[in-house]
Each structure stands twice: as structure tokens, then as C-alpha cells.
A and B are shown apart, each in its own frame.
Chain A
Amino acid sequence: MAKFKWRILKPLLFFVFLFFYQLVSAQTSKATLHGYVRDAANGEELIGVTVYFPDLQKGVVTNAYGFYSITVEGGAYNITYSYVGYATVTKNLTLASTTELNIELEEATETMQEVVISAEAADANVTDIAISTEKVDMTQLKNMPAVFGEPDLIKMVQMMPGVITAGEGTSAYFVRGGSADQNLILIDEAPIYDPSHLFGYISVFNSDVIKESQLYKGGIPARYGGRLSSILDVRTIDGNNKTFGGAASIGTLASKAMIEGPIRKDKGSYLLSARRSYADLFLKIAGNENRVYFYDINAKVNWKQSNKDRFFAAGYFGRDAFKLGGVFGFDWGNTTGTFRWNHLFSEKLFSNTTFIASQFDYGLELEDEALGFRWTSVINELSIKQHFNWFITPKNELDFGYNLTYRRFQPGYLQPNVESSIFDGVELEKLYALDHALYIGNKQVVSDKLTMEYGLRLSIFQNVGPGDVKIYADPQDNIRPEVVRVDSYNSLEPIITYYNWEPRFSARYLLNDVSSVKFSYNRMAQNVHLISSGTVPLPFNTWNPSSIYLEPQLADQIAAGYFRNLKENAYEMSFEGFYKHMQHVTDFADNANIFFNDDIATEFRQGDSEAYGFEFQVKKNVGKLTGFINYTWSKTVRTVPGVNLGEPFPSNYDRRNAFNLLASYKLSERWDFTSTFTYSTGRPITLPTGQYQYQYYNPSYITERNGYLLPDYHRMDISAVLVPLKNKNRHMQTKWVFSVYNVYNRKNAFTLYSQDKEVDDQPTGEKEFVMIYLFPIVPSVTFNLSF
């Protein structure tokens, strides 16, 4: 224990030292300018606005809540507020003491675009310290072609460099050699355990209510943690605090409606949005017994008590329900609630306190007199996050905080749903976990050219009681698990505790006005493990905490990149390389039974994974033609004792090449055209090389894991957005989105499996491969309305 304490103390001392050093160096009499930056039209706080002092060549960026603070020597200054897509505002101020300045920015119209081009913010690609970070352009997202015309955030994420997909029709994505469960997906800071609707056709994110979303693939700041490979941080809009408004749309798949407005002008606002699919209504009309639907609801209120205290409450409720043949049903859903309190302790010290509740659950049900049952599984999470953002000097911005999370995993509960059922009620052992995280990180402008961000996160993870823990003679014996004893634990009594230090570091060095090099290293630890051995997680997968049988997964990643802008920032270019080494990645024994298994611990196999690759990106953000080209080359290999005889094998999502293109052309005020093209190497697949007879069965004979590749995947989609001219003169705005998915009707393999060849329903003794492909050419129309 003593040894452990010293291990904690040593790095902490360093930070304490650093902290006081900053304090001392920041003491001279200076003026602090602070405030919020908002959208002039609806009062939404803007995230990532550059507040810049050209005379000093110093600046700061608004944080995730739209707040900024910068301390400079007293004097008269020009200050610019700039943000992509908005008109830059320049203020002339004489700063003597602490000054509060809340700024409203207006969205740039066509004619103002030229002004925006020259704004400082446009060179963020080069000057910002962020490496391996992708921001989703919401306009691009809303205009991009989508299957069934439903614009989807995850589909955009899947096009980003460094991101691999498992194929169309899934919401899973794989970042830099990480598996699908290694992505943390946050909506207003609350985690979403399964982001899929309709098995992944679309995701839970309703694009109408997204304000900002960022994907961190590397150089992950210390305030984020808990998953190895990426953080997708989605923030929803707060609701218009100036006027009442709304939007509605009717699409091929789903319809949605949203209202927003002030509770009191400039003081508080609300937002309510709902979306529902209606395929089930068509099925009903067609006399089909199958039922399929999903819905989601986003609700939010926020209240600005004063410029010092602001409160938000946000909720997300989503659910999918299927019923087949009136007999077999299943459903799943996420529910999250967030309550936030922003408080300014001083003009330099911003505090955010968040309470989060999140639940993911699913159920499977069979309605049958004899075999009827309902099976449910639930994961609950409660957490509190205290985050401080301290704008010490213009050269130092400190982030620090503490997170506490409590999780309850209920892997399975099976109960008969009719009295005549042959089943008894059975419940798998519940699991509990407490997770503490302490972090501190500083962003430091070292010189005109060099900026660094460094931090440290300490994750303390405890698998706690109540519970009975089986101790196995051989924890890997999944045939006849032999329990030597059972240890009982009381509520909150630690079963095992894991400590992990997670250092984070990024640096940016400006080569000149238009180019920079960046470097980052981060270590991440993950203490929740998805119990799934397929390529793509299903909503019916459960999660387990780290335990005596599952060590925390760890990832070390280094990434380096060259960033360059061309033609006065009209083009952004980046080239990044990464190397990632992961330890204790969770895998499963061959033939593992992960479905209602009391001894699931005996199926766990953990090993190493190694990934490396490079990513190339070009973006054009201004002009009539905008878009991006992304290319990724990467390789991922796993070595897991007990899987594939311990030999290295390509991971399920090891796709060597991935190329994505999006081009948007603004033809006129009325018409916008967007086209996307995607190409990637087929995903690895395990195919049989032989077959044999056993009784009346002809099983396939497997000799090699992931030894084959599916055919290459490629597809082109187009969309046209029509904004009618009459919009100009009225409050009500309408928009049509026409899109065609898979324009050249490519048959892309979704999966491939072997089966017995049959002629007239009779097996021939021969076998064959069957390829499943999902979407042929699919046209769709969506009508949008906003007021």
C-alpha cells in the first residue's frame, strides 16, 4: 500500500508544483476579459469560437459551454471573435480591469463568405493543438445522401479518416484498430451503450438537435477516459432563447418534429424533439404480422440564472421494438438524463458539475404456451462529474476534475411469461462497479510556435459487491468449470481494485503561417467489456466490468501529423501516422457461449492487439464546391492466447484501405448537390475449406481464422437539396432532400456464409457459399419544414 501511495504522489507532486508555478507567474496586475459567445439568431452558445488579440498574437477558444476567459496586460486592443460559418466580429476595447463581454455572432450569408475566409479561425487546422480530432460539419451532414433519406451522424463518422466500418447497415465503427466497444459515445455527457436503431440502419442521433460533435481518435485530453480508442462527444442544442421555433420533416423511414423556444427571453429556453419510424404502419396495412418500430425523444431545458450560474437538464429516451409473426419479440433502448450546473467562481475559473444517469436495456420474448419466456438485461450507470476550467494566463489553460461512476450490470433475467411455460425464473449474478477518475491537464503556449497540452488521469476502478464470486480451479476451463469456492461480498465491498495512470500529451509546432507538425501520446484504460464475439455488436450483447477474471484493457497510442492549409485556408490538408498497442483486449474462446452463461468468466480470453497506419485528408470548406477526401491505410493484428491456437490473426475489422469522398456543390440559392463515394478493402472473414459428414449433417470444416477477405466494398450516393425561392419572404422555411443510395447498384457483400446446397428442398450433399447484400439502388425523398 505504501508503495502504491508513493506511485500516486510522485506524479501528483509534479502537477502541484506546476500549478503553483503557474499561480506565481500569473500574479502581475492584468486585465481579464471573459464571457460567453452565442449565436445571434437563437442564443445558442457556440463551442470553439476563437477570441483573438491580433496585436498580441494571443488568443483563446470558447469551451464546450461557450465560455471564454483571457488575461492580458491592461491597454487598448482590437479583439476578433471568429467562428467558421459565422461573420467575424471585431471589438475595440480598453481593458483596465476585469471585463465581461458576451458576444453574439451572426451566421454568415452567401455574400459574407469572403469575410469569413480571411478569419483567423479558418486556420484552426494548422494552429489548433488538436491532432487526430474530427469535427462533424452539420450542414454537410444534413445535405449528404443517406439511405432512406435519414441523415445520420454515425454514417458521417464512418467516413472519417482512421475510421473503419463493418459494412453498410450497421452503426458500428472501428477507430485505429480498436473494436466497436472501444468507442465512448456521449450525448450531453451521458454515455450511450448501443447507438443503433433498427440493428444499426441508423443511429440514435437525431440530426435536428445536434449542435456540435467531435470525434477524438488520439491526443485525447485528460478529461476524457474510459474507452480505449475514441470519444464521440455529441452536444445537443439548447433551444432558441429568443423566439419560438420548430421544425418537422417527413422522410421515407421516419418523421420527426421539434419545437424550441424561450422560457423567458435571453434567460431560459426549452427544446423538445421526437422522431418515430413508421414502417410498422405500412406492414399493418399490408396485413403483415410483423411489427417494427423505433422512436426517440430529446428534451432539454436550460436556465441562465445569471452570467455566473447556468443550469441545464437534458434527457434522451429511445427505443426499438420488433415483433415477428406475433410470437417472437424483442426490444431495446437507451435512456439518459443529464443535469448540469455551470458556475463561475471567478472570471478565470469556470466550473461544470454534471449529474448523469444512463440506462441501456433489452428484452427478448417468446410467446408460446410451452416455451414462453421473457429475458431482460439491464445496465445502469449513475455518475457525477466535477470539471474545472481555469484560464490562468493566456498561455495556460488548466482543466482538472473528478468523476465518480457507479454501474450496475444485470446480464440476464429469464422468466416464464405464461403459467404453462416449462421454464423457471433464472437470474444471472448481477455485477457492480465503482469507478473514480481524477484528472488534470494543462494547455500551455510555450512560444509563438510551440503549444503543448499535457495531462494525467488516474483511473481507480473497483468491482464491488454485493455478490458471490466463483473461484474456479481453472478459470479457462469452459467445458466443466470447477468451482473451488464461492466468495461473498457485501454491498460496495471491493472485490478487486485496479489503478491505472493515464498520461496524455500533445504538442503542436508551427512551421510557418500555413503549416504545422503535431505529435501526441496517450494511454487509455477501459474497464467495461462488451460480451460479444461477432464483428458487429448486437443490441443483445451484455457488458461486464473489469473483475478478477477480466483485466482492464489498456491502449498506448502515438500519433504524429503534418498539417497544411492552402490557398488562404480554402483547403485544409493533413497527413497523420499512428501506432497503437493494446493490452488485455477482450476476446472469447472458440465456440464460446456468451448467451445466458452462468460461467461466462471461463469464456474470457484476453490478449494483445497491435495497430498502425496512416491517414490522409484534404478538406475544402469554402466556395461553391466543398467537401473532403479521406484515405486510410491501416493494419490490425490480434494475438490472444486460447484463440486461433495463440497465433496472431487479423482482427475482424482489419481493412487495409479505406477511401471516402464527399463533394458538395452549391449550384444556386435553390439547389445544392452532394455526392459521396466510399471504397474499402473487404473485411476479413473465416471461411471453411472443407466439409464432412456427421450423422445426417454436413458441417463445414474450418482451418484458419479470418483467412479470407470479403469482396471490396464500394458505393456512390447522390443527393439534391432544394430550397424553394419563396422561402425568402416568409417565416416558414421548407426544404426538399432527394437522394439516391447506391447509384450504380453495386452488390456489396454484407456477409458470407456456407450452407447445404438444396434442390427442391432436398439436400444434395454439396455445399455452397451464400452472399447477403443489403441495399440495391434506393431512392428517397424527405420534406423538411422549419419555422
Chain B
Amino acid sequence: MNRLFVLLIAVFGLIACEEVVDLDINQSTPQIVIEGLLTNKDTTHYVKVSRSIQFYESGLNPVTDATITVSNGSQVYLYSHNPGAVDSLNGYYFSDVAYAGSIGEAYTLSVNVGGIEYMATDTLKNVTEIDSLAVVLAPNPDEDDEAEGRIYQVLLFAEEPPATEDFYQFQFFRNDTLITSTNNVYVFDDDALGDRLDGLPSPILFKEGEKAGVEIYSLTKEQYLFYTDLSNILNSDGGMFSPPPANPRNTFTNNALGLWQVSAVREGNVIIVP
């Protein structure tokens, strides 16, 4: 949204330009980054631990010697680093056993790196069932999509409990492949909704024969704020019209970056048939 205004000014100017510039940026002290996801699915769950890197570097700077536990007060789940010793999974920790998070239960993630403990607690909230997915012609497909024949949009229908304050995250799949984006974050706040999610359109388009998948995750307010903050920093205009960019808020102690996400998840699929 924020960068939109700068682009608008640029559009109106017709003559405004963008240019990549090299800047002499200070070195930053690497900061611990934790990405943990626990759902209500009975599976092995992961936690990814890394350190931030310098602005002009790339890649993951994994932490491989962390001690990780997840606890709900009565049970403690242990996680081990990259049990299959796969190179691409360095920095990933998996639960030693498969387990499912229970709705309404609070889970505490504790990550110990070099004697410093990073902790976060959040509650797993229920999520609404996807009633149905409908396929319609997209009203304004862009040129790239059109060229590939992707002209169909999926509409999502679901009940939305009006009494509770709910937040949702959506993930979209094309033929079971997660659609990723560098700067789009698909989260939703039920504040302005009625008691139904009627025809929420997918932001991505599909072509005939493709399998369209949608996952809906419950978020707590803290998790939702993390994602909106994340969207803000990914789309910041540098503080001209938008606020100065800031690190997303989370519930970790000791200023760790990232998020401990505990969510209920439901999914829906549809094969695109016009």
C-alpha cells in the first residue's frame, strides 16, 4: 500500500525513474532469526534457526547447534537438527516424534543458542472450514497470466464466526506447489467482514486443468501483526509517506527475529474446469 503512493507519484510524473544504487552501509551484528510453525496436523514439525546476514550478502547463515524444545506445560517435544543430514536442511530442526497441536492449547518454543534462551508462547486457535471453492473467469487478468492461459480465479466460501476476533493467513498452491512471493503477504482481519467469507478471490490465477489449492491458517493477533509488519517492511517506500521501516514485532524474548506460529490449518482443492 505504501509504496503504491510513491509509484503513483512516479506514474503521474510519467518521467520519474528508478535506479539501483550501491550504498556504503554499516556492518550489522548478526541477530538470531527463528522460524517455527506448529499446526494441528499430526506430523513432524520444524523450527528453522539462523542468523541475519549483512545487507549485501545472500543465502542462509544457519545455526546448527541450538537446543530446541516445544512444550504445552504437560508434554515436552524435543527437536533435532537436520536428522537426515541433508545439506539444504542445515538450520532446520525437526520434532523427534510426529504430533498434532491441540486447539485452544498454548505452546512454548524455547531455542537455546550458546547459552542464550529465546522463548515465545502462543495459543493455537481454531480455524473455519472451507465450505467450497468456485472457479470463475478473472475480471482483470494481467498480460503475463493471460499469455499463459491463466484466466481463472478461485473464489473461497466459508463461515466466519462473527462473535470472535479472528485473523487468517492464506497459502495458495498450483498443482500442489506452494506459490511464493517476495513481497505479498496474504493475511486477513475479520473486522470489516459479515458472518460469511463469501467469494474471497484468490490473488493468483490458474489455467484449465490445473489443481488449485488453498490453505487457511488461524492466526493470533500477535501473529497477524507480525505478518502485517512484515508486509510493511517488504513494501516500505523508505519512509517518505510510509512510516520509517521497522523490524516486525513478535513474541520472542531477547530480540530474536522471526515468528513462532501456532495455527490450525484447513485446506481445499479444486481442479480448474471452466
Is B41 close to A, CB under 8 A?
Answer: no
Q: For residue B59, which residues in chain A have a CB less than 8 angstroms away from its CB?
A: 765
Report whether A686 and B242 are in contact in the complex, using a CB–CB cutoff of 8 Å: no
Is B98 close to A, CB under 8 A?
Answer: no
Is A16 close to B, CB under 8 A?
Answer: no
Report whether A772 and B16 are in contact in the complex, using a CB–CB cutoff of 8 Å: yes
Is A687 close to B, CB under 8 A?
Answer: yes
Report whether B30 and A690 are in contact in the complex, using a CB–CB cutoff of 8 Å: yes
Is B143 close to A, CB under 8 A?
Answer: no
Is B197 close to A, CB under 8 A?
Answer: yes
Within 8 A of A (CB), among B31-56: 31, 33, 35, 48, 50-56
Chain B proximity mask over A764-787: 1 for CB below 8 Å, otherwise 0: 111111111111101000000000
Distance of A420 Cα from B134 Cα, bound (Å) = 15
Report whether B199 and A422 are in contact in the complex, using a CB–CB cutoff of 8 Å: yes
Report whether B139 and A369 are in contact in the complex, using a CB–CB cutoff of 8 Å: yes
Report whether B55 and A691 are in contact in the complex, using a CB–CB cutoff of 8 Å: yes
Is A56 close to B, CB under 8 A?
Answer: no
Report whether B10 and A774 are in contact in the complex, using a CB–CB cutoff of 8 Å: yes
Report whether B17 and A776 are in contact in the complex, using a CB–CB cutoff of 8 Å: yes
Is A512 close to B, CB under 8 A?
Answer: no
Within 8 A of A (CB), among B240-263: 240-249, 257-259
Is B272 close to A, CB under 8 A?
Answer: no
Report whether A201 and B55 are in contact in the complex, using a CB–CB cutoff of 8 Å: no
Distance of A199 Cα from B48 Cα, bound (Å) = 43
Report whether B55 and A422 are in contact in the complex, using a CB–CB cutoff of 8 Å: no
Q: For residue B100, which residues in chain A have a CB less than 8 angstroms away from its CB?
A: none
Is A63 close to B, CB under 8 A?
Answer: no
Looking at the assembled complex, report how far the CB atom of A685 sits from the nearest CB atom of chain B, in whole angstroms: 6
Among residues of A, the one whose C-beta sits closest to the C-beta of B22 is: A769
- Give which listed residue, B28, B60, B185, B240, contacts A703 with CB less than 8 A: B28
Within 8 A of A (CB), among B198-224: 198-201, 221-222
Distance of A643 Cα from B44 Cα, bound (Å) = 40
Distance of A588 Cα from B242 Cα, bound (Å) = 12
Is B191 close to A, CB under 8 A?
Answer: yes
Looking at the assembled complex, report how far the CB atom of A709 sits from the nearest CB atom of chain B, in whole angstroms: 11
Q: For residue B257, which residues in chain A have a CB less than 8 angstroms away from its CB?
A: 692, 694, 699, 701
Report whether B228 and A593 are in contact in the complex, using a CB–CB cutoff of 8 Å: yes
Report whether A534 and B241 are in contact in the complex, using a CB–CB cutoff of 8 Å: yes
Q: For residue A598, which residues in chain B have a CB less than 8 angstroms away from its CB?
A: 191
Q: For residue A774, which residues in chain B have a CB less than 8 angstroms away from its CB?
A: 9-10, 13, 15-16
- Give which listed residue, B54, B230, B248, contacts A689 with CB less than 8 A: B54
Q: For residue A536, which residues in chain B have a CB less than 8 angstroms away from its CB?
A: 240-241
Is A370 close to B, CB under 8 A?
Answer: yes
Chain B proximity mask over A687-715: 1 for CB below 8 Å, otherwise 0: 11111111111111111111110000000
Q: A369-B199, A590-B246, A750-B240 are in contact. Are A690 and B28 (CB under 8 A)?
A: yes
Report whether A423 and B192 are in contact in the complex, using a CB–CB cutoff of 8 Å: yes
- How many contacts A-B (CB < 8 Å)? 249
Q: For residue B185, which residues in chain A have a CB less than 8 angstroms away from its CB?
A: 697
Is A414 close to B, CB under 8 A?
Answer: yes
Within 8 A of B (CB), among A449-472: none
Report whether B243 and A422 are in contact in the complex, using a CB–CB cutoff of 8 Å: no
Report whether B241 and A750 are in contact in the complex, using a CB–CB cutoff of 8 Å: no
Q: For residue A414, which residues in chain B have a CB less than 8 angstroms away from its CB?
A: 192
Q: For residue A590, which residues in chain B have a CB less than 8 angstroms away from its CB?
A: 243, 246-247, 249
Distance of A683 Cα from B258 Cα, bound (Å) = 30
Looking at the assembled complex, report how far the CB atom of A8 sits from the nearest CB atom of chain B, in whole angstroms: 40
Among residues of B, the one whose C-beta sits closest to the C-beta of A763 is: B182
Is B23 close to A, CB under 8 A?
Answer: yes
Within 8 A of B (CB), among A744-760: 747, 750-756, 758
Q: For residue A325, which residues in chain B have a CB less than 8 angstroms away from its CB?
A: 140
Within 8 A of B (CB), among A581-621: 588, 590-595, 598
Q: A169-B13, A292-B12, A765-B58 are in contact. Are A535 and B200 (CB under 8 A)?
A: no
Report whether A778 and B245 are in contact in the complex, using a CB–CB cutoff of 8 Å: no
Q: For residue B6, which residues in chain A have a CB less than 8 angstroms away from its CB?
A: 750-751, 772
Report whether A694 and B230 are in contact in the complex, using a CB–CB cutoff of 8 Å: yes
Report whether A199 and B19 are in contact in the complex, using a CB–CB cutoff of 8 Å: no
Is A279 close to B, CB under 8 A?
Answer: yes
Among residues of B, the one whose C-beta sits closest to the C-beta of A424 is: B194
Q: A534-B240, A750-B6, A778-B15 are in contact. Are A689 and B55 (CB under 8 A)?
A: yes
Is B148 close to A, CB under 8 A?
Answer: no
Report whether A691 and B52 are in contact in the complex, using a CB–CB cutoff of 8 Å: yes
Report whether B239 and A691 are in contact in the complex, using a CB–CB cutoff of 8 Å: no
Report whether A691 and B20 are in contact in the complex, using a CB–CB cutoff of 8 Å: no
Distance of A198 Cα from B221 Cα, bound (Å) = 36
Report whether A689 and B26 are in contact in the complex, using a CB–CB cutoff of 8 Å: yes
Is A290 close to B, CB under 8 A?
Answer: yes
Among residues of A, the one whose C-beta sits closest to the C-beta of B188 is: A422
Report whether A700 and B9 are in contact in the complex, using a CB–CB cutoff of 8 Å: no
Is A442 close to B, CB under 8 A?
Answer: no
Report whether B244 and A770 are in contact in the complex, using a CB–CB cutoff of 8 Å: no
Is A371 close to B, CB under 8 A?
Answer: yes
Q: A652-B239, A692-B53 are in contact. Are A772 and B17 (CB under 8 A)?
A: yes
Q: A590-B246, A591-B246 are in contact. Are A694 and B33 (CB under 8 A)?
A: yes
Report whether A688 and B240 are in contact in the complex, using a CB–CB cutoff of 8 Å: no
Q: For residue A690, which residues in chain B have a CB less than 8 angstroms away from its CB?
A: 28, 30-31, 52-55
- Give which listed residue, B35, B48, B140, B239, contacts A685 with CB less than 8 A: B239
Q: A370-B200, A752-B238, A765-B58 are in contact. Are A591 and B243 (CB under 8 A)?
A: yes
Is B78 close to A, CB under 8 A?
Answer: no
- Give which listed residue, B17, B56, B249, contacts A767 with CB less than 8 A: B56
- Give which listed residue, B15, B48, B55, B193, contacts A688 with CB less than 8 A: B55
Is A166 close to B, CB under 8 A?
Answer: yes
Looking at the assembled complex, report how far the CB atom of A35 sits from the nearest CB atom of chain B, in whole angstroms: 49
Q: For residue B26, which residues in chain A have a CB less than 8 angstroms away from its CB?
A: 689, 703-704, 707
Is A405 close to B, CB under 8 A?
Answer: no
Is A480 close to B, CB under 8 A?
Answer: yes
Distance of A735 Cα from B96 Cα, bound (Å) = 84
Q: For residue B54, which residues in chain A have a CB less than 8 angstroms away from its CB?
A: 689-691
- Give which listed residue, B192, B237, B247, contacts A702 with CB less than 8 A: B247
Report whether B245 and A686 are in contact in the complex, using a CB–CB cutoff of 8 Å: yes
Q: A322-B8, A538-B5, A772-B16 are in contact. Are A533 and B194 (CB under 8 A)?
A: no
Is A479 close to B, CB under 8 A?
Answer: yes
Looking at the assembled complex, report how far the CB atom of A698 sits from the nearest CB atom of chain B, in whole angstroms: 7
Q: For residue A688, which residues in chain B have a CB less than 8 angstroms away from its CB?
A: 25, 55, 245
Q: For residue A751, which residues in chain B have a CB less than 8 angstroms away from its CB?
A: 6, 237-240
Is B174 close to A, CB under 8 A?
Answer: no
Q: A690-B54, A768-B20, A774-B16 are in contact. Are A697 and B230 (CB under 8 A)?
A: yes
Looking at the assembled complex, report how far the CB atom of B106 sits from the nearest CB atom of chain A, in whole angstroms: 14
Q: For residue A689, which residues in chain B have a CB less than 8 angstroms away from its CB?
A: 25-28, 54-55
Among residues of B, the one whose C-beta sits closest to the C-beta of A533 is: B243
Q: For residue A755, which residues in chain B have a CB less than 8 angstroms away from its CB?
A: 182-183
Looking at the assembled complex, report how far the CB atom of B271 sits from the nearest CB atom of chain A, in whole angstroms: 22
Give the most central of A423, A538, A701: most B CB within 10 Å: A701
Q: For residue A538, which residues in chain B have a CB less than 8 angstroms away from its CB?
A: 5, 241
Report whether A169 and B9 are in contact in the complex, using a CB–CB cutoff of 8 Å: yes
Shortest 7 CB-CB contacts between residues of A and residues of B: A689-B28, A533-B243, A753-B238, A696-B180, A690-B28, A590-B246, A692-B52
Given A694-B258, A765-B59: 16 more A-B contacts, CB < 8 Å: A199-B5, A422-B197, A534-B243, A536-B241, A588-B243, A594-B243, A687-B23, A690-B28, A690-B31, A697-B183, A697-B185, A700-B245, A701-B31, A701-B55, A753-B245, A774-B15
**A-B pairs with beta carbons under 8 Å apart, 25 shown:** A199-B12, A201-B12, A201-B13, A368-B139, A370-B199, A534-B239, A534-B240, A688-B245, A689-B27, A692-B53, A694-B259, A697-B182, A699-B247, A702-B245, A750-B6, A750-B240, A751-B239, A752-B21, A753-B236, A754-B55, A756-B183, A758-B182, A763-B182, A767-B55, A774-B10
Residues in chain A within 8 A of chain B (CB atoms): 166-167, 169, 198-199, 201, 279, 290, 292, 322, 324-325, 327, 368-371, 373, 414, 420, 422-424, 426, 479-480, 533-536, 538, 588, 590-595, 598, 652, 685-708, 747, 750-756, 758, 763-776, 778
